């Protein structure tokens, strides 16, 4: 795929391991002004996402461990990249029995617009049995914790003059000439669990 740019944009990758398999979650953030040099915006955004992932630890299995956070300036070709490297307290804190690697909780990222290009999903790994009901539905307590942390993430980004966005790279299966960002306004969780088969052993991420 040819490289396409997100004006004033950054790509944020949260890198984890789960039972030895690679797991990543990708997010997109924009500014209203050009992305600053490496020493400014990239580590600032990484710090905000680190606060987010710390808040998520109670709804992450102790088997899920963070490798690091990578933030890349994708507003220009060959933009700077910042990586936190190893982080303090990398693991989840939920010590209940873990579900299989592929089990995920889907958080929907909602915008003011309808259509596939304007809604995102973030599949949260490290699900334990205590986070689900006997029918494999997400418990109310788990959903509340996750949604609170996503709300905090959005608010903390806005407070620092950034915005969490849904980034659309394609329209009707055709690659756009420029990534289309749409600000995220709120979040929801689908009660049934989802499956990410690529996170199964031997497939990883």
pLDDT on residue 175: 87
Distance CA 105, CA 125 (A): 7
Q: CA–CA separation, 100 vs 171, rounded Å?
A: 34
List of residues 6+ apart from 82 with CB closer than 8 A? 38, 42, 43, 46, 70, 71, 72
Residue 173 is predicted with a pLDDT of 80
Residue-by-residue pLDDT tens, the chain, 205 positions = 458 999 999 999 999 999 989 999 999 999 999 998 778 999 999 999 999 999 999 999 999 999 999 999 999 999 999 999 999 999 999 999 999 999 999 999 999 998 887 899 999 999 999 999 999 999 999 999 999 999 999 999 999 999 999 998 887 788 888 999 999 999 999 899 999 877 777 665 5
Task: Report whether 59 contacts 26 (CB < 8 A).
Answer: no
Question: Would you state the pLDDT for residue 202?
Answer: 65
| pLDDT tens digits, one per residue of 24-49 | 999 999 999 999 877 899 999 999 99
pLDDT recorded at residue 130: 97
- Give pTM, 2 decimals: 0.94
């Amino acid at each position: 795929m040819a490289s396409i740019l997100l004006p004033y944009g950054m790509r944020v990758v949260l890198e984890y391991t789960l039972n030895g398999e690679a797991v990543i979650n990708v997010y997109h953030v924009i500014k209203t002004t050009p992305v600053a040099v490496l020493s400014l915006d990239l580590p600032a955004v990484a710090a905000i996402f680190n606060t987010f992932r710390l808040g998520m630890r109670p709804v992450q299995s102790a088997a899920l461990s963070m490798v690091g956070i990578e933030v890349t300036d994708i507003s220009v070709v060959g933009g700077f990249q910042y990586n936190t490297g190893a982080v303090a307290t990398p693991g989840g804190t939920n010590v209940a029995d873990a579900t299989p690697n592929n089990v995920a909780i889907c958080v929907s990222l909602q915008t003011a617009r309808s259509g596939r290009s304007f809604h995102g999903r973030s599949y949260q790994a490290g699900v334990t049995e205590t986070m689900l009901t006997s029918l494999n539905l997400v418990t109310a307590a788990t959903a509340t914790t996750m949604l609170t942390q996503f709300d905090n993430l959005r608010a903390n980004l806005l407070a620092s003059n950034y915005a969490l966005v849904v980034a659309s790279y394609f329209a009707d299966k055709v690659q756009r000439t420029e990534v289309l960002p749409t600000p995220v306004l709120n979040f929801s969780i689908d009660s049934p669990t989802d499956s990410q088969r690529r996170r199964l052993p031997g497939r990883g991420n």
